[in-house]
Structure 1
Amino acid sequence: MQISQLLRRKGREVATIDATETVRAALALLAEKGIGALVVSSDGRTVEGIVSERDVARGLHEHGAGLLAEPVSEVMTSQVHTCPPTASVHDLAQTMTDHRVRHVPVVEDGGLVGIVSIGDVVKARLDELEDERRALVDYIQTP
């Protein structure tokens, strides 16, 4: 399965935040949307970084509560792993495992077109396995 197929199922909405917004604003947006990461983008199209709950937790541990008033740029990850819509779910799962990332922005022609979480990858893989199981059962049961 390609990432483009996964995005058709889950949608292409991506929550973004400007790097100059506060960490407190990022946390509020994460909570409001019920998500684990935001793409840092000044225009909603370019990927300048990513900020996750993990980034904030580590930042709070290092810097204390004063971090909440600091800009997102203080805690964001600048080296972002991205993928094209043509990538396979299997390859993306490998990338996420190898680099220990849970969210990967999907970029096409230099612009943000979606985001995939590890949960999306697991669900897609489980769906594939269920389809394979059904096909095998049908094959075995067909006279």
Structure 2
Amino acid sequence: MTVAAILSQKGRQVITMVPKQTLAEVCETLATHRIGAVVLIDGDGRIAGIVSERDIVRALAAEGATALQRPAATYMSAKVVTCTERDTTDQVLQRMTSGRFRHMPVVREDRLIGVISIGDVVARRIELAEREAADMRAYIATA
């Protein structure tokens, strides 16, 4: 299964913010949209970084509530690992696992076109395994 298949099922809506927005604004956005990370884009619409719930927890642990008033750029992961629609779920899962992150922006020609999470990937893999098991049971029943 490819990233394109996941995006076709889940949709391509992406919540983005800009690096100068505060960490408090990021928290509000994450809570409002019930998401675990937000992609930060620069003035040219390119990915500048990503801020996840883990980044926020680390910021609060290091600086306390004052971190919430600082720009999200202070705490974002600037080296963002991305994927394309052609990547397979196995490739994406391997990158997420080895990099220890749960959200991956999907790009086409350096432009953001979606975001997938490890939950999206695992859900599709479980769905595929269940479908294969059902097909196998049906095959055995007709034999």
TM-score range, shorter chain: over 0.9
- State percent identity of aligned pairs: 38
- Normalized against structure 2, the TM-score is what? 0.96
Equivalences, count: 143
**Alignment RMSD, CA only?**
1.1
Deviation at 1:47, TM superposition (A): 1.1
Write the mapping of 1:1-143 to structure 2, written as runs, cut at 5 A.
1-43=1-43, 45-143=45-143
1:104 match: secondary structure: strand
1:49 match: secondary structure: strand
Deviation at 1:44, TM superposition (A): 8.2
1:64 match: secondary structure: helix
Deviation at 1:110, TM superposition (A): 1.1
1:39 match: secondary structure: strand
**What is the CA–CA distance in structure 1 between the aligned matches of 2:113 and 2:121, rounded to whole Å?**
17
**What is the CA–CA distance in structure 1 between the aligned matches of 2:122 and 2:3, rounded to whole Å?**
12
**What is the CA–CA distance in structure 2 between the aligned matches of 1:44 and 1:120, rounded to whole Å?**
28
Is the CA contact 1:44–1:112 (under 8 Å) kept in the aligned structure 2? no
Q: Alpha-carbon deviations, 1:80-113, whole Å to 9, x = none?
A: 1100100001111111111101000000111101
- Normalized against structure 1, the TM-score is what? 0.96
Is the CA contact 1:38–1:50 (under 8 Å) kept in the aligned structure 2? yes
**What is the CA–CA distance in structure 2 between the aligned matches of 1:100 and 1:142, rounded to whole Å?**
44
Unaligned runs of 5+ in 1: none
Unaligned runs of 5+ in 2: none
**What is the CA–CA distance in structure 1 between the aligned matches of 2:92 and 2:45, rounded to whole Å?**
21
Q: Alpha-carbon deviations, 1:14-35, whole Å to 9, x = none?
A: 1111000000000000000001
Deviation at 1:45, TM superposition (A): 3.9
1:35 match: secondary structure: coil
